[in-house]
Structure 1
Amino acid sequence: MGIRNKHSGSLDSPMDDKEQYGNRNYDPDIPHAGTEYDDDLSVPCPPHTTQRRLVTKIDLRVIPVLSLLYLLAFLDRTNIANAAVFGLQKDLGLTGTQYNTALTIFFVPYIVFEIPSNIILKKIKPHVWLSLCMFGFGLVTICQGLVTNWSGLLATRFFLGFTETGMFPGSFYLIGMWYKRSEAQKRYSFFFGSTSLAGAFGGLLASAIGKMNGMRGYLGWRWIFILEGVLSCVVAFALYFMIPDFPEEAKWLREDERAYIRARLRKDQGRSARDRQITFRDVVNCFKDFKFFIGAFMYFGLIVPAYSYAFFAPGIINTYGYSQIGTQFHSVPPWAASFVFAIVIAFFSDFFKHRFLFTLIPIAMAIAGFAILLTTHKNTHLEYGALFLITMGTYSALPVIVCWFNLNLGGHHRRAVGTAWQVGFGNIGGIIATYAFLAKDAPDYKPGYKICIGFSCLSAAACCLYAVSLTVQNRNRDKAGTDLGLTDFEKTEKGDLSPDYRYLL
């Protein structure tokens, strides 16, 4: 049979299809990828399909569902910015930094429960946990539209953070268990692009819902929360039956398809240890790897400008002299541009099988956008154009950073903990973002723009340090070799720390 080159993944001297399959149901008219074997398991791609068709089948089942889930989660998280334009602060009598504090309280449970949420997701299956969380944050969003004072707003924002805590790290963890590292970036970026679509969709939806102002005695900002919360609750029921589980238990795949998927992932990422429970010792051992902290700062640095834009863009655009409805409409194009650009970046990142430079280039764009806003205050068109640079740079670099770190973690336990840790620690930046743009700094917001530039530079520096650490570790493992007397079990336990593992730059 054909043997794969261990490092390049190419096939050397494959036999023809008939020789490879022998007399076992061979039919030359049936498309298949008979030469696609895993070195260790010798598992062929099923004769009834091809690798490309199988990956497409996975794409259609995994990515759209999770993207819809996170689109609604991000929409319910950031629609408070749209509600603020329609008078939320005035109606609730918010003064000083009370609005900023309401934004901040969301991140307290959101950060604390990231790792426990991923452990629960692995234990009780993704379709149960994620759909349950989705119904929860939809219900809380409805309640947010019914609050009558600042205390009620704080309570609902706290429980919104609690119910949304598993959405992002859980989805990224799940996607990472379905795809090889060289093909994952486009999927990650499309999924993460749901944040951009949520921003665009939120602006359009808010401009329409805002016209319901006064209907049944509710102001327009209340209807934004109520209707978008109801939408999330309804969709949660449908997604219970649609959210995919891990490859090991996916009932919508044939047994031979599941076996082949496990084999190709095992070759690329090592053994997954799906059935092994995550222990407290596993969590502690993960934090002995210094790369966990570098990966966290990579994400942390960009979360500050990301949430700064998501929470305050409508307010910034409103200072350009647009009406309430006009502000909502003008918030849409930068989000739409960021989605398209993120997909372009992801395509080239996967094409070149490289991540590092595709983090630095977008970050540089975001820094340029903030620099323009920091120095220009009387050219509305230029300022509005700078918003495109900010969204395109920030929201295309973030998915590359998370994919790069997540897919360089081997095994279920290291990936479950690592993904939740990176997202959890990174979202501390969300707390900083909520106080970056204060009402007293309007309309120039110079402190906020300086803060965003500084943290973007921090993210770029962390990316450089991470790339250097991966390069050094790969070279050291090449010199040491792989025959270190470790058993397969020991290599599985080590995950990406196994001497067989090579990191992707």
Structure 2
Amino acid sequence: MSSPSLHSSDKEKGQEIHNEYVGKALDAPYLSPAEEKKLMRKIDYKLVPFLSLLYLLSFLDRVNIGQARLDGLEKDLHLKGNQYQIALVVFFVGYVSTEIPGNILLKKMRPSRFIPAIMISWGIVMTLMGTCSNFAGLVAARFFLGLTESVLFPGICFYLVSWYKRNESNLRIAIFFSSATLSGAFGGLLAYGLSKMAGIEGLLTFVVGCISPWMIEDFPEEAQFLTPAEREHVVRRLKEDTGAAGTFKMKYVMDAFKDWKTYVFALIYIGVAEPLYALSLFSPTIISELGTFSRAQSQLLSTPPYALAFFITLATAIYSDRIQRRGIFNIFWMTVVIIGYGILIGIETQKHPGVAYFAVFLCVCGVAPCIANTIVWTGNNFSGVLKRGTSMGVMFAVGNSGGIVSSLVYRTQDKPRYILGHAVGLGFAGMCVLLSIFMMVYFQRENARRDAKYGKVPDFVLGANGEELTSVADDPEIRRRFGLDGMTEEQIEGLGDKNPLFRYYQ
């Protein structure tokens, strides 16, 4: 008969600890829903527009070589055989080489200093590229352009997911990435105008890089544009959603390398990135082969698919955040890409230019929303800022290697149908679909296993006066129920996404 009494005593003690916790929690500067919404708008206006401008400049600098090819690049620099493809490849060799250490350094250093430094570097390289007069100079410039640009996109994606909760991040990443979609839509026209003013693109990047230290904030813990109460609220809501920011420890870096999910997400991302880069680099060339089009006409025809993709990307992100699901969108949209490539492979494109142009629409509009979706899906499912940053770095390094593949498979001798390039893109898209299905099923089963073992994670605990307090993980009674009783904050932090309180996004 002693067991029930002991159980009752433990329960009463647990309730006393819980009451003490929620009483103290009332002293914390919790914001009302209206105040929190206003705070998030303040963060959005501070971060997203300027970071989107940076990526627009980066993507434009990267892919304008495709437009320059239509403008006579090969003739001007006396390129022969596959030298144009080599110039594309060396960019991505430099691009993938520093993405993993770049994300680690971004956490260790201040983003407000690190990001402007790399911008200024690639602005100088881009400016000097205008002086290239032969193949060797072009190759050297493209390699160093890739090297200096490599940290920007993965670094900013990691930076953004470190500011927002998991059900808020897809829309912000999508807006950020959509600047590249707009670059795809209008990059040809911009490149044409800027080509008449040699070096102006790189100079513009250099100038923006110089003012960036005053425009870019550091991580939430050190953000100067927030009041102390706002800063504390942002840090707490992120801790409640994905865990504490944590300290810099190599253990967290190694945890990412040891986690098999890191490599599956990397393969999913390359399944999206290879078609994306192929379409970005070669869509003007592909369209030009559909008929007798001038350079200006080819550029104009490449604009509508990317303009539509811009709206599809944003709509997908909004709905994905609303239902808190990721995998199903990869599966649907990459299936659309597979259909598009299938059409391009299966028809005589010059005999049916309208159908082929429709297939380009399917490919571009299908692949665009999956970039942001995959990035956010990866960031959502690794807990601990350093582990998340490292895993995302691996994902970007492997995924952006798709640029090397895409640079090699659209060969001059394959025009006008480019069957090899389209078939490779179809294969990568198919891999993305299959692995997305696998991860979605795995996350569903793992969440169900944790629910069965520990119970569902409550959305809130009730405070002393009936307030809904969302600091669930700090409640001693919750910790006891989920097997975390007696563990230090550092030990709980070390669990990362293996924490019983953590639930994966499907």
The TM-score normalised by the length of structure 2 is 0.86
Residues 14-163 of structure 1 correspond to what in structure 2 (within 5 A)?
43-46=28-31, 50-163=35-148
Q: 3-state DSSP class of the match of 1:435?
A: helix
- Which letter does structure 2 place at the counterpart of 1:93? H
Q: CA deviation at 1:453?
A: 0.5
Q: CA deviation at 1:146?
A: 1.1
Whether contact under 8 Å (2:70, 2:295) holds in the other structure is: yes
- Which letter does structure 2 place at the counterpart of 1:381? G
Q: CA deviation at 1:436?
A: 1.4
Structure 2 residue aligned with 1:323: 294
Structure 2 residue aligned with 1:307: 277
Q: 1:50 to 1:348 in 2, by over 3 A?
A: same
Structure 2 residue aligned with 1:15: none
Task: Give the structure with the higher percent helix.
Answer: 2
Q: CA deviation at 1:188?
A: 1.1
Q: 1:193 to 1:228 in 2, by over 3 A?
A: same
- Give unpaired runs (5+ residues) of structure 1: 1-36, 213-222
Q: CA deviation at 1:49?
A: 6.3
Q: CA deviation at 1:484?
A: 4.8
Q: Give aligned pairs, total.
A: 454
The CA deviation string for residues 55-76 of structure 1, in whole angstroms up to 9 with x for no partner, is: 1111111111111111111111
Structure 1 residue aligned with 2:320: 349
Once residues 92 and 144 of structure 1 are traced to their aligned partners in structure 2, the CA distance between those partners, rounded to angstroms, is: 12
Matched, 1:427 2:412: no
Once the two structures are overlaid, the 10-residue window that deviates more, 228-237 or 161-170, is: 228-237
The CA deviation string for residues 11-44 of structure 1, in whole angstroms up to 9 with x for no partner, is: xxxxxxxxxxxxxxxxxxxxxxxxxx99979734
- Which letter does structure 1 place at the counterpart of 2:120? F
The TM-score normalised by the length of structure 1 is 0.86
Q: CA deviation at 1:431?
A: 0.8
CA RMSD in angstroms, aligned pairs only? 1.9
- Give unpaired runs (5+ residues) of structure 2: 1-21, 455-481
Structure 2 residue aligned with 1:199: 184
Q: 3-state DSSP class of the match of 1:287?
A: helix
Once residues 120 and 95 of structure 1 are traced to their aligned partners in structure 2, the CA distance between those partners, rounded to angstroms, is: 40
Whether contact under 8 Å (2:334, 2:366) holds in the other structure is: yes
Structure 1 residue aligned with 2:13: none
Once the two structures are overlaid, the 10-residue window that deviates more, 132-141 or 484-493, is: 484-493
Whether contact under 8 Å (2:271, 2:428) holds in the other structure is: yes
Structure 2 residue aligned with 1:220: none
- Which letter does structure 2 place at the counterpart of 1:264? R
Matched, 1:400 2:373: yes
The CA deviation string for residues 408-464 of structure 1, in whole angstroms up to 9 with x for no partner, is: 111111111011111111111111110110000001101111111011000111111
Once residues 498 and 209 of structure 1 are traced to their aligned partners in structure 2, the CA distance between those partners, rounded to angstroms, is: 52
- Which letter does structure 2 place at the counterpart of 1:461? L
Matched, 1:179 2:200: no
Once the two structures are overlaid, the 10-residue window that deviates more, 354-363 or 257-266, is: 354-363
Whether contact under 8 Å (1:186, 1:350) holds in the other structure is: yes
- Which letter does structure 2 place at the counterpart of 1:72? L
Q: What is the percentage of aligned positions where both structures have the same residue? A: 36
Residues 213-292 of structure 1 correspond to what in structure 2 (within 5 A)?
223=197, 226-273=199-246, 276-279=247-250, 281-292=251-262
Once residues 278 and 100 of structure 1 are traced to their aligned partners in structure 2, the CA distance between those partners, rounded to angstroms, is: 41
Structure 1 residue aligned with 2:422: 449
- Which letter does structure 2 place at the counterpart of 1:156? A
Whether contact under 8 Å (1:38, 1:263) holds in the other structure is: no
2:305 pairs, out of 334, 347, 352, with 334
- Which letter does structure 2 place at the counterpart of 1:501? F
